[in-house]
Structure 1
Amino acid sequence: MAAVRGLTAVALRVVTPWHGSRLLAASRGPRALREVSSSSPEAGEGQIHLTDSCVQRLLEITEGSEFLRLEVEGGGCSGFQYKFSLDTVINPDDRVFEKGGARVVVDSDSLAFVKGAHVDFSQELIRSSFQVLNNPQAQQGCSCGSSFSVKL
């Protein structure tokens, strides 16, 4: 078992239909960081899916305990915006999504706005960036790709 800033990690193997992706739920207690199988009620709709290009890029840019944090903040041209950053601290209300050794962490408040979405890495001539695709919680997005409005 490995300790993660006051949390205990429990290593379990779960087979899911998402090519080796796993969902970890962070909470306090002896089984603080636990995997949730895709057939459990906690997975499914609350799942964040990582594309192969996202996994590949994260493996290239992260070191050690680093992971990609996805947050949703108020602002942007459509009301809400996605914010990506590299982080090393897992908070008690975080959900950890892992695929192929790459991790994306989303806090519980932000997860309500992105559950069921895909996190991708796109490389174009004018920019390279992580982005949220196919967000079932978004009513519409902006052409900037980082702003959206939610379904009511």
Structure 2
Amino acid sequence: MLKVSDTAAEKAKEILKAEGKEGWGLRIFVHGSGCCGPSYGMDIDEKASEGDETVEKNGLKVFVDKEAYASLGEKEIDYIKTEQGEGFVINGGEAPSCSSGCSSCG
């Protein structure tokens, strides 16, 4: 089941409040796929859509469409801050296996 870190929940609530959208939530969706698996997108949304899974953490709601929820498994949404920048990340699970030799995988 998808998890949300305390740090990610608090940062998302802070962002939603700054946008004047308290009570809204985050939406996670599949944003394309490559030889190494799906890429994910994130947005804000007022409410769940029909068929969504909803994950809650510390008062934050995360809406996930069925396609994304199935592929996320035991991963965790976190928020990181480093010298290179800051943002939400999805951690955990096994790294994808890239054996096709495509040029888009490093």
Q: TM-score, with normalisation over the residues of structure 1?
A: 0.55
Q: Which runs of 5+ in 2 are unaligned?
A: 99-104
SS at match of 2:13: helix
Q: Structure 1 residue 74 and structure 2 residue 32: aligned?
A: yes
Alignment counterpart, residue 131 of structure 1, candidates 89, 97, 102: 89
- Structure 1 residue 58, shift from structure 2 partner: 1.2
Q: Which residue of 1 aligns with 2:6?
A: 52
4+ aligned runs moved over 6 Å, structure 1: none
Q: With CA pairs under 8 Å and 6+ residues apart, which has the higher RCO, 1 or 2?
A: 2
- Structure 1 residue 70, shift from structure 2 partner: 0.9
Q: Per-residue displacement from partner, 1:55-83 (whole Å, max 9, x unpaired)?
A: 11012111323211111232357342111
**Comparing both structures, which one devotes a greater share of its residues to helix?**
2
Q: TM-score, with normalisation over the residues of structure 2?
A: 0.76
Residue type of the partner of 1:78? C
Residue type of the partner of 2:82? E
- Structure 1 residue 139, shift from structure 2 partner: 2.6
SS at match of 2:39: strand
Q: Which runs of 5+ in 1 are unaligned?
A: 1-46, 142-147
| Structure 2: distance between partners of 1:67 and 1:121 | 15
SS at match of 1:113: helix
Identity, in percent, stands at 24
| Structure 2: distance between partners of 1:139 and 1:77 | 9
Aligned length: 95
